[in-house]
Structures are given as structure tokens and as C-alpha cells.
């Protein structure tokens, strides 16, 4: 590893005018010390009251920006994920006004995870495999000014793609000279959809390698990853709920609501516990999009997490 970007070198907006904290050569390997998505507002001793008091102007910090030498608008930046440092703790929260079912879950809630043993126990007998990845990763936008890091954008941003794990190669469009790359919001585990608004938010180190593809323009991020695209044993079973609707949001909300009902009834969890479990372990999948105006979404719960 050639260089480390320390945790205090972070920012909270995409802004092409930010000064780079480091200039990297193509082919260089760089380490990033990533704080959690609350930027230290939450800790191992935090409570749900601290979640309700979160300052949203200080969430999803990203480390950087890194200036990649030779990168020009119209190029593509390749970011290979080499590995992650150990995780000691993490948190999952329900934030009032945020999340897929924010109208149903209006009270703040918080789960603190102990990750020191290399596992993530939600409750006794419920264990989620640790599979770290960066939730927010991208290059500077072409547009001038400050832009929130909270949503995904054409530069990458807060994509929350759980398959950006070790060995993945992520391809990002270069909009400005030097690309101005940043990364943050590391997760120890997450279900596809991150439905309650948070995953297992965990500070950790991440190691990346940069390459440039000159004159190759892509409009939005693409990536190459290894399969299978599931965690756990290949023969594991799933319980699946489905939801249909005349728009995808309605279908997603119904599928997750039915899964919350199933988990609460079958395993004795409270509704808010089931909601957070869905966010960290349940995968949403598009099952049907051709029978317009009806769309079908399925929610997959891996039964292997119940010990």
C-alpha cells in the first residue's frame, strides 16, 4: 500500500472545487481510514435519543478527494477493491422521517452491533454474515457547487450496492480533471434495498487500487464482481414475500411490510426489530416489470441467519 488517507481528511458534499488531499498515480494502491456514516455522532454507548438528534448536514462523510494523475473528462476511473480492515462495532438505526416505511416507523430506534468476533449477532440466535463494502463511493460531479452525498448520482455517490466487496472492480465516469475520487459510509452487512435507511454502519479501513481507461466514456457507474451474489451456503433456503403495485415503490413497500409481519409472527421480534433485520439481511428483487401497469417485487429472507 503506497499511501493512507486518514479519517480526518473527509468532506460532506460533492464539490469539484475541493482541494485534493493526495495525488495518486494510476496503478497506485491507497488505504482509507473510514469513519461511520454518522461521522462519529453515534458511538458504542449511544441510544435512540442520539439517533433522533442526528445532524443530517454531518452524515455520510467521504474520505478524499484524491486527484488521479492523468484523469480527464471523458475517461473512466477503475477502482479495484483490494480488502477491508477489521470491524469492531457498528450500528443500525431507524431515523424519523427516513426509510422506505418512514410513515409507519416514526420513532427513533437503534441497534448497536459487536463485531469483534467476526460475526454480527442481531439477537440471540439470529446471526448475519459480515460482508463489508463501501456504501458511498464516487468522483466529483461536472456541475459547479456543493451537492449532497446522501443520494446516488451519475458519479456514483451513495449507491449502497452490497456487491462492491473485495475483488470487485468499479468503473466510474470522470467528469473533472483528476477525477477527484472519494469513498466512505462503510457497511459490515446490508440487504439489497437497505429498507430502514441504514445497514450495519461500521467504521473500517478499506484498500483500493486505481487504474485509468483513457477515452472510454461511461455515463453512470458500472462494475465487475464475483459470484455467487448471495451470502451463506449455496443450498440455503429463503422465505419470500411478494408485493405488487402500479409503481415500484408501492410494490417494494408491500413486500417489506409483509416480510415484517412474517418475521414478527414467526420469530417473536417487535415490528421495529423486524424492520431493522430486513434492512440488514433481506434482499429485494425485481421479479416482474413487463405486465404494465403491474410490477412485482419479492423480498428474500435467508433462513440460515436463524441459528
231 assigned to some structural domain: no
The CATH number for 48's domain is: 2.60.120.580
104-134 residues labelled b (16+ CB within 10 A) or e (exposed): ebeebbbbebebeeeebebeeebbbbbbbbb
* Predicted structure pTM score: 0.95
Both 168 and 207 in a single domain?
yes
Both 256 and 111 in a single domain?
no
233 assigned to some structural domain: no
**Does the pLDDT of residue 53 top 80, yes or no?**
yes
Both 121 and 195 in a single domain?
yes
70 assigned to some structural domain: yes
Count of structural domains, the chain: 2
pLDDT classification of 143: cutoffs 50, 70, 90: very high
Summarize the confidence of residues 150-164 as an average pLDDT. 96
Find how far residue 48's CA is from the centre of its chain: 21
Tens digits of residue pLDDT in 200-244:
999 999 999 999 999 988 999 999 998 777 766 778 899 999 999
232 assigned to some structural domain: no
The CATH number for 281's domain is: 3.10.28.20
Residue 273, phi then psi, degrees to nearest 5? -65, -40
Range of the domain at 288: 238-305
**Does the pLDDT of residue 1 top 80, yes or no?**
no
Query: Any residues with CB less than 8 A from the CB of 16 and at least 6 apart, and which?
Result: 140, 141, 142, 143, 144, 175, 176, 180
User: Cell triple for residue 207?
Assistant: 484498500
Tens digits of residue pLDDT in 8-37:
999 999 999 999 999 999 999 999 999 999
**Does the pLDDT of residue 188 top 80, yes or no?**
yes
Both 287 and 203 in a single domain?
no
Both 219 and 277 in a single domain?
no
Both 93 and 19 in a single domain?
yes
230 assigned to some structural domain: no
Amino acid at each position: 500500500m503506497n499511501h493512507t488517507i486518514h479519517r480526518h481528511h473527509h468532506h460532506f458534499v460533492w464539490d469539484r472545487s475541493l482541494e485534493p488531499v493526495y495525488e495518486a498515480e494510476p496503478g497506485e494502491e491507497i488505504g482509507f481510514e473510514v469513519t461511520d456514516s454518522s461521522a462519529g455522532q453515534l458511538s458504542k454507548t449511544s441510544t435512540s435519543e442520539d439517533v433522533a438528534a442526528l445532524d443530517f448536514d454531518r452524515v455520510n462523510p467521504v474520505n478524499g478527494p484524491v486527484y488521479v494523475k492523468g484523469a480527464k473528462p471523458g475517461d473512466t476511473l477503475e477502482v479495484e477493491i483490494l480488502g477491508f480492515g477489521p470491524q469492531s462495532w457498528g450500528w443500525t438505526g431507524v431515523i424519523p422521517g427516513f426509510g422506505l416505511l418512514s410513515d409507519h416507523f416514526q420513532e427513533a430506534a437503534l441497534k448497536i452491533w459487536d463485531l469483534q468476533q467476526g460475526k454480527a449477532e442481531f439477537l440471540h440466535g439470529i446471526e448475519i454474515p459480515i460482508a463489508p463494502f463501501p456504501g458511498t463511493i464516487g468522483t466529483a460531479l461536472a456541475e459547479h457547487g456543493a451537492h449532497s452525498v446522501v443520494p446516488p448520482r451519475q458519479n456514483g455517490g451513495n449507491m449502497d450496492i452490497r456487491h462492491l466487496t473485495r475483488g470487485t472492480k468499479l468503473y466510474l465516469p470522470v467528469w473533472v480533471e483528476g477525477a477527484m475520487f472519494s469513498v466512505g459510509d462503510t457497511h459490515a452487512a446490508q440487504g439489497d434495498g437497505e429498507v430502514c435507511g441504514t445497514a450495519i454502519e461500521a467504521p473500517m479501513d478499506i484498500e483500493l487500487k486505481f487504474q485509468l481507461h483513457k477515452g472510454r466514456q461511461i455515463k453512470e457507474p458500472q462494475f465487475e464482481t464475483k459470484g455467487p451474489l448471495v451470502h451463506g451456503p449455496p443450498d440455503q433456503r429463503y422465505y419470500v414475500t411478494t408485493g405488487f403495485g402500479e409503481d415500484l415503490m408501492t410494490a417494494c413497500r408491500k413486500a417489506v411490510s409483509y416480510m415484517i409481519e412474517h418475521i414478527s409472527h414467526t420469530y417473536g421480534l417487535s415490528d421495529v426489530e423486524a424492520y431493522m433485520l430486513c434492512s440488514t439481511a433481506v434482499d429485494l428483487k425485481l421479479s416482474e416489470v413487463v405486465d404494465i401497469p403491474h410490477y412485482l417485487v419479492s423480498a428474500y429472507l435467508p433462513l440460515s441467519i436463524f441459528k
